[in-house]
Structure 1
């Protein structure tokens, strides 16, 4: 007999039900009458810990073996794996790097969802692995593959990802069991079983749709080419950008600028979005001076469209109150905790606004007095003043408090922080337009410095200080031989600022390019009384 077992390697992070998935597959195979064996391989991955489960199914019914028992393996052999199934994209690639899969044999089923590693979270810049690159690696090291957003399907079904994975495996056609066999093992009694069946169905339909699409594409490629009306209809369905954007900017920038306008209209109003468009128009005019034909894809304006929208929509207590009190947020919480209609759900939000948050909405003169008062307290060795709040968002009074605070957006343009932020934005914008008009590379590097602005509180302030120091001492410095040297210095300073939270790398880079290091900021010294030692007998 030359029939070989079908081998599967299942990879799941901690708490995702990898053991349950293995039990379902073993139970389904036995229910259908096929020999099966499974083993678990404990391990520790980059996140909460991953355990792999190895499964072999012999694709001949036990009744047809005439008393013979196939020998099934306990561990996957490199290059001889029939299927690799994983609930996380980077974990899938990690398993591929171990040599389990092969291009001429292995089917890979993976979720496109990401659970960021500690190393990715620690980066000041965007430390995430490139999702497109990870998908390319999977395609290059598999015979066939199915990449699906299983996190979204899990959320829709109100279950765990193991049920969706089971549906994907069943629809792949790899194993000889029928859909009814899987559903019989899952069962249909109880809310958890029903949720698992919903997740199974969503996973089954997702993989089935991809298989049908692949078959259709194969048929189309083998047939003579013909125009497709669906493509033209899909192109016409793309929403049109605002009139100002369509008339004033190249078509390659429309989508990004439209998103920026929508964000700022929601954040403040249409007048604020028009201010955003006017600022980008100044950047585009400067870029046309150094690159009239747009051979570089209007990259300076594109970068500014992204980072300018994020900076203009800076976080403040009004913004936080608005986000916390939205109906979509309540629905998201219900989905995360999997609350049923008969469940009682209470949601508490903890806030601790300090003097800077309150001063942000006050006029400049009052804000400076309030900040000076808090600064004097800190110089005296006291902690910064803050107001701890615990608001029950599920209550009428709590929701009303947040909604009233969110309605204060009209007060934002009159506040001290708004005025300060706009002045800093204009300083950065002026540097970008001036440098872009004279030397495209220098303007592009300054525009990319917008990625230094992120987070909130001290992180946000530190990012703005770093950006403005680069603008004032590198973008406007007269000691560079040419624009190329200036662009290289700005790029090096930006990368240094993103690589080191303490700023030591940035200071060293600034000195290497003839600029002063960042000035030291005075910090108060707080004396803490040493607690008395208890005498023991």
Structure 2
């Protein structure tokens, strides 16, 4: 064939910051050169959420330099939408974003993508689970690609102890995009880097090669299910990820183990929420607290069986309660924060994130600012009220609420001992004012769910879902509890059970619409419910300083 009729093979690489996209591009260029093929690479930097990932475009001419007789092919500096042969991406939403830009051609382009997600700012800003459904993203990839290889590159990189770029290199190589490049060529270039990192990169390369070379196995992994946070079931920290999709995952726990969980797509309950919740509360407090969780859940299950003896709804109310009840009962406090900050697994995670080597010295400083509310939470109610009154009087005099700023070096023996000492005070929770207040509010919500379920299954189910209003910490957590209790106290007792269920559902949707609560107040007014009480806010007068004269 005339070489004038041969065109280069074009590959678009999309990688997020810190994933080694530049290293991947260099590996591919060096591999082509090592094998004696002409190659060219260019890159376009991304800007956070505006232009997405940094992209690298590589073209390799499928004829060796020795066969060109001194001639050189002409390469393109930029990818042409719809005219690229392959695209490799380290993040699923970024893959579909590039597809939306028209980069792929369903009749031409091979898409190699990770199923893992790095949530966007818009997804994180949502009051509830704002994640994009991964199953829909995978469907887009399949529709707009000639062939596809989808695998969890982040998980493969963790298992190999390397970065995503090494897995991506293996996936590109294993896909057969460049059939004229041998596996030995790739491995020789990676090995040339030398050291322990090269061995780890080779492990990642092998994992990516296998996943891309066996597409049926990669597809069977059901990448969309990984977003539910259930992949590492069997550890107590997984309970947090599974029960609260989208929230930060706690450091691994070793105090308890949960049964293997059945994965579920985002927004759909898992039948193992009860086991995960039990494991979380056992790790959070003790066996007695886990039994209390089971007893509370049994009350809901009994009421649901009475309201739905045929099991038409599949125990949906009990599953919702298993999820949200576990979250509320494991409320965050300074004891919990100290526990998570001082775990060995957290230190390991920090070392991995900063890519610290064995010979490197790593110092980690944690900043805390506990206030009166945090200290009062661990005191008996009488002492706590006295301390809170003192702080309110302080604020009324125009001063800031009292807090204790701390900078703790958790890399030091002293800092670590301080945190572990604080973490050991979990026994003190039961005697604290916050424990009593939280348990009282939980019981009030639980009674409303049980009573609503006995009255009408749908009403109980709607009240149970109000548990999603309890989130975050500090003022956000307080607003959520106030909204839930106001809804329970004023909307669940309507004479018509169906109307009550509709009212609770509408109020819950309004409560998560905005954190200021304006939508909830408007909905409550429309439903004829009394408005939420106005909370007092101190007025501070600030002395106006003297104007500063501008100088030429």
Asked whether the two chains share a fold, i.e. TM above 0.5, the reply is yes
8 Å Cα contact 1:256-1:306 kept in structure 2: yes
Tell whether 2:395 aligns with 1:378: yes
8 Å Cα contact 2:149-2:215 kept in structure 1: no
RMSD: 2.7
Tell whether 2:198 aligns with 1:181: no
CA, structure 1 residues 400+51, in 2 after alignment: closer, same or farther (shift >3 Å)?
closer
8 Å Cα contact 2:304-2:453 kept in structure 1: yes
From 517, 533, 538, the counterpart of 1:503: 517
Shift of 1:463: 0.8
Alignment of 1:4-83 (within 5 A): 4-44=7-47, 46=49, 49-67=52-70, 69-83=72-86
Per mean C-alpha deviation after superposition, the further-off stretch among 447-456 and 287-296 is 287-296
Tell whether 2:113 aligns with 1:110: yes
Q: Give the SS at the match of 1:499.
A: coil
| CA displacement 1:136-179 (0-9 Å, x = unmatched) | 32233323322333334444555543233222211222112112
8 Å Cα contact 1:260-1:309 kept in structure 2: yes
Tell whether 2:489 aligns with 1:472: yes
CA, structure 1 residues 55+340, in 2 after alignment: closer, same or farther (shift >3 Å)?
closer
8 Å Cα contact 1:158-1:338 kept in structure 2: no
Tell whether 2:379 aligns with 1:362: yes
8 Å Cα contact 2:304-2:318 kept in structure 1: yes
Report the counterpart of residue 455 of structure 2 in structure 1.
438
Shift of 1:376: 1.0
Report the counterpart of residue 138 of structure 1 in structure 2.
141
Report the counterpart of residue 229 of structure 2 in structure 1.
none
Per mean C-alpha deviation after superposition, the further-off stretch among 312-321 and 202-211 is 202-211
TM-score, with length taken from structure 2: 0.85
Report the counterpart of residue 201 of structure 1 in structure 2.
203
Shift of 1:528: 1.8
| CA displacement 1:188-234 (0-9 Å, x = unmatched) | 3454xx4255234314323414533628999xxxxxxxxxxxxxxxx
| CA displacement 1:266-292 (0-9 Å, x = unmatched) | 111111111101111111111112211
From 125, 129, 132, the counterpart of 1:129: 132
Per mean C-alpha deviation after superposition, the further-off stretch among 204-213 and 458-467 is 204-213
| CA displacement 1:283-339 (0-9 Å, x = unmatched) | 111111221122222111111100100000000111111111111111111222222
8 Å Cα contact 2:212-2:218 kept in structure 1: no
8 Å Cα contact 1:153-1:203 kept in structure 2: no
Runs of 5+ consecutive residues of structure 2 not aligned to the other structure:
221-232, 236-255, 260-268
Q: Give the SS at the match of 2:446.
A: helix
8 Å Cα contact 2:8-2:59 kept in structure 1: yes
Q: What is the aligned length?
A: 504
Q: CA separation in 1, counterparts of 2:447 and 2:102?
A: 53
Per mean C-alpha deviation after superposition, the further-off stretch among 444-453 and 125-134 is 125-134
Q: CA separation in 2, counterparts of 1:322 and 1:31?
A: 51
Q: CA separation in 2, counterparts of 1:290 and 1:102?
A: 53
8 Å Cα contact 2:52-2:94 kept in structure 1: no
From 129, 145, 150, the counterpart of 1:147: 150
8 Å Cα contact 2:151-2:218 kept in structure 1: no
CA, structure 1 residues 297+171, in 2 after alignment: closer, same or farther (shift >3 Å)?
same
